[in-house]
Amino acid sequence: MNTTIAAVRMIDLPKIEDPRGNLSFIEEENQIPFKIERTYWIYDVPGGQVRGGHAFKEQQEFIVALSGSFDVVVDDGKDKKTYSLNRSYYGLFIPAGLWRQMQNFSTNSLAMVLSSTSFSEEDYIRDYPSFINYKGL
């Protein structure tokens, strides 16, 4: 609950370079610090649209731009930071308890999200005043 944006970090993934094409991979509790319970992806985002805009109480996540580019804004109620994701060999680890929004999607971008939890609407904090209240601010 008192997690700050200082806990958010970019993680470089292994990149096996090969004349036949490059390869990267992610193993749970190895490159990323949690067990993967669910994977989802966001695609066909029309220009100018924003995704996210909520916080999770339990869900930790790791976001990779498998194709194209987009920005992820993280916010702990006091400070905000914007990360640009545009390569498939690194991603953004976001612990639970932070507000996050995804925006500036390029055409044909593909956002992969690895999640530490299965889907639960109860885990979402969907309005910002409730988030501020949750953070005790």
Binding site for ligand TYD (CB under 6 A): 38, 40, 42, 51-52, 54, 119
Among residues 3, 50, 53, 54, the one annotated as catalytic is 54
Residue (25 or 41) nearer to ligand TYD, CB: 41
Distances, alpha carbon 89 to alpha carbons 11, 48, 65, 84, 85, in Å? 9, 25, 9, 13, 10
Shortest Å, Cβ 118 to ligand TYD: 8
Among 100, 104, 93, 95, residue whose Cα is nearest residue 125: 100
Rounded CA separation 99/109 (Å):
22
Residue (54 or 57) nearer to ligand TYD, CB: 54
Burial of 69 from C-beta contacts in 10 A (0-12 / 13-18 / 19+): middle
Shortest Å, Cβ 126 to ligand TYD: 8
Residue (11 or 42) nearer to ligand TYD, CB: 42
Active-site residue, 30 included: no
Shortest Å, Cβ 49 to ligand TYD: 9
Positions marked catalytic: 54
